[in-house]
Amino acid sequence: MIHIQNYINGQLTSPNSQKYLDNIDPSIGKVYSFIPDSDNTDVELAYSAAKAAFKEWSILPKEKRSQYLLKIAALIEQNIDKLAWAESIDNGKPLKLARTVDIPRAAANFHFYGTGILHYASHAHSMEETAINYTLRQPMGVAGCISPWNLPLYLFSWKIAPALAAGCTVVAKPSEVTPMTAYLLSEICMEAKLPAGVLNIVHGLGAKVGNAIVSHKDIPLISFTGGTTTGKQIASIAAPMFKKLSLELGGKNPNIIFADCDYEKMLSTTLHSSFANQGQICLCGSRIFIERKIYEKFKSDFVAGTKELVVGDPRHEKTKIGAIVSQPHFEKILSYIELAGKENGKILCGGKAVKLSGELSQGYYIQPTVIEGLPFDCRTNQEEIFGPVVTLTPFDTEEEVLMMANSTVYGLASMLWTQDLTRAHRIANNIHAGIVWINCWLLRDLRTPFGGVKASGVGREGGFEALDFFTEPKNVCIKL
């Protein structure tokens, strides 16, 4: 069985502890590889390498940095089948999804920032005859990047690519639950001849490796994507150290459906936005609000569509719902379905674990689940479940649905289905969310600001916002 290695100073290295953790294939519930159980000593080595590499990398002409990023993007594309296969095994997601979404997007992230940096410019502020100010944007130093398990290479590269493009060097930690494609990325970086120390990947537990990165006194900025509770913990350590923070956290996204929508388009997209990646996308719509006039029709069509989603082997072409990422997460989702029952929710379909046959019999599978009859403010409707579970709630007026949509502590994404343009603009203006999709879902333009409000995060990724994050502005004022 493969032993994943850290990638430090351009080399694949074993952890100082020489200890490894189990890496489980969730589709079969069995260990299939091992992950370095790294600690603060490995982070220190990674930091030293990144610090040394920063001297050259930060002053390398942006055209040269761009070439490295574009080479990495090309190598990801060339290795798409291997990477998609690895992502599917590590995470449990359908192979088709990894092949068409995760891995192409990881390549796109490197390509986008490899070209984006060539167009990144700073401002000048003229004081007419008196003076001129210009803003330098200087790379911040060694960046700490920490990412979650749901879109492993997709989100890992979404941080690393802008950091490297901006001239920072990086100490990065992928989720311990899904480390494999980050490991394969190290091999790709070696093949691309990325200079030693520019990117360092340290595998291991959040409490050890993640914490060592966050509390490192010389790492001045942290880009983190993960749960809100972890985000709070990170902020409490980083804030007194005056670190720059980008936090992309949890969500409980509303999907608001008006009777005047394009019904067929809405129905097929809503099935997707509810259950893609087993509902484990921070942008999935887990609270579906339906205008009462079409509630019964929607309910019947949506439940029928949900029942058709095939739960099964992630590697099969027909599978729509693969395995849940881990046993603890599988148990968490089932506990929320139980809670919904206690809160007097009615399960319209799903609601149970699925026992598949043969070698998949120990895998973590859950039926896509639709629940109705819950008050908008109960725990099931307020807390993030992050699984294939949605609730249906009818509404009568725009004011009422807006109030319910805005009632959670979260504010990441939202979806709105209507043909009434004026209403669409009005709701988009008033909804608590960093992202509003009108008559679509997950349509992404990488130039746009990405992130959430309230407990869904601090700061924005995407486009030049990410390059702003990884650079420090310095104003220079020249008296004329």
- By the criterion CB under 6 A, which residues form the site for ligand NDP? 146-150, 155, 173, 175-177, 205-207, 210-211, 214, 225-227, 230, 233-234, 248-251, 282, 384, 386, 412, 452, 456-457
Least distance in Å: CB of 456 to ligand NDP? 6
Least distance in Å: CB of 357 to ligand NDP? 29
d(CA 181, CA 201): 11
3-state DSSP assignment of residue 470: coil
Q: Which of 144/197 has CB closer to ligand NDP? A: 144
CA distances from 179 to 296, 328, 433 (A): 44, 17, 30
d(CA 462, CA 445): 9
d(CA 5, CA 13): 5
d(CA 467, CA 246): 12
First to last CA, the chain: 68
Residue 169 pairs in a beta bridge with 142
Q: Which of 149/469 has CB closer to ligand NDP? A: 149
CB 256 within 8 A of CB 399: no
Q: Which of 89/455 has CB closer to ligand NDP? A: 455
d(CA 158, CA 136): 24
Least distance in Å: CB of 229 to ligand NDP? 7
Cβ partners under 8 Å of residue 184, min gap 6: 79, 82, 83, 86
3-state DSSP assignment of residue 460: coil
Least distance in Å: CB of 167 to ligand NDP? 24
Catalytic status, residue 87 = no
3-state DSSP assignment of residue 317: coil
CA distances from 382 to 336, 409, 457 (A): 11, 8, 17
3-state DSSP assignment of residue 205: coil
Sheet holding 199-201, edge to edge: 11-13, 6-8, 199-201, 169-173, 142-146, 221-225, 244-248, 457-458
Q: Pick the catalytic residue: 87, 176, 248, 291?
A: 248
Least distance in Å: CB of 388 to ligand NDP? 14
Q: Which of 152/167 has CB closer to ligand NDP? A: 152
Least distance in Å: CB of 426 to ligand NDP? 25
Catalytic status, residue 248 = yes
CA-CA-CA-CA dihedral for 98, 106, 285, 405, to nearest 10: 170
Least distance in Å: CB of 470 to ligand NDP? 17
What residues act catalytically?
A: 248, 282
